[in-house]
Amino acid sequence: MADDAEQGQSEERKPRDMVAKALGLLTLVGQRMPGATLSELARTSKYPTSTTYRLLRSLVLEGFVRYDEQTKRYSLGPTLFILSEQAASQMDFHEITTPVLERLSLVTGDAVLLSVLDGDREMQIQSVRGGRTFQFLGHPGLHAPLHCTALGKVLIAFSEPGERERLLKRLPLYKVGPNAITDRRAFRAEIERVREQGWGVADEEHESGVRSIAMPVLSDQDIAIAAVSIVTPQARGPVTDLERLLPALDEATRQLSVLLRSRSFLYRSSSSASIPRR
């Protein structure tokens, strides 16, 4: 009888053990931006490569994980985002956005800002201080010009067509930082480039010694709900080095897009801004 009971408990533990391993792998995938390879996940989890592969294959088939044939990397899949969206209905705006922004800052080591379009300016909604020696702290509620920040460029590029054209024609292009664009034709070309590539950069355009790179948080209609930027010091290296931050930034904005676009946390203010209900 005792042997039978022990055998039953052992058989009962097997599926639970596999579920725990699968959830452990899912957690590891989520901690790696922009994803991880099979060998990296097997090494970190300490599971045999064959076991890791079988678990990942099941997670991919169920949509919890996606596999990129080109990069050979696993990243979080759409099913997980759908579940996150459902869980989000029980959370407020900051409860949803803060973990994503903090994780992005932790991965990159840099300050992270979340802003929305507020008329002819951008308005900061949230900020996370970076962990490096260089510190840049945003201030929720603070307004900044659109034409000389990466956030502003992205918010213009992915605004509604009529609003985008209005801003391109009428937005004041005054000199703020040393590299701010003040020529209207050059500014239109810059916004077209941002829209085409999906991200924008500001290189000492708003403040000397400061660079930033931003991407939009998009609605179902590919209109910017908000934008997220990573802020770095100019002295760190050439401006092209910012592009190494794109995979992590893309992952964060994609998560925020799924979490926010079908929720009612955002509404249109009288100045056409999308701001969180408090």
**pLDDT tens per residue, the chain (278 residues)?**
444 444 444 444 445 588 888 998 998 888 776 788 999 999 998 899 999 999 999 999 988 898 988 889 998 887 877 776 666 555 567 778 889 999 999 998 899 999 988 889 898 888 888 766 555 666 677 889 999 999 999 999 999 999 999 999 999 999 999 999 999 999 999 999 999 999 999 999 998 889 999 999 998 889 999 999 999 888 887 888 899 999 999 999 999 998 886 554 443 333 333 333 32
Query: What is the reported pLDDT for 60?
Result: 92
Q: pTM higher than 0.75, yes or no?
A: no
Query: What is the reported pLDDT for 10?
Result: 43
- Give Cα separations from 267 to 158, 161, 243, 264 (angstroms): 17, 19, 32, 7
> Cα 106 from chain centroid?
12
Type of residue found at 91: M
Q: Omega into 276 within 30° of 0, i.e. cis? A: no
Give the separation between CA 183 and CA 167, rounded to whole angstroms: 14
Give the separation between CA 163 and CA 182, rounded to whole angstroms: 20
Q: Are the C-beta atoms of 216 and 152 separated by less than 8 Å?
A: no
Q: Are the C-beta atoms of 179 and 117 separated by less than 8 Å?
A: no
- Give Cα separations from 231 to 112, 238, 254 (angstroms): 6, 14, 19
Q: Are the C-beta atoms of 202 and 176 separated by less than 8 Å?
A: no
Q: Which residue has the tokens 């042997």?
A: 3
Ramachandran angles phi, psi of 2, nearest 5°: -60, -40
Sorted by where each starts, the structural domains of the chain and their CATH numbers stand as 2-76 (1.10.10.10), 83-276 (3.30.450.40)
Q: Are the C-beta atoms of 249 and 230 separated by less than 8 Å?
A: yes
Positive/negative CA dihedral, 35, 125, 236, 148: positive
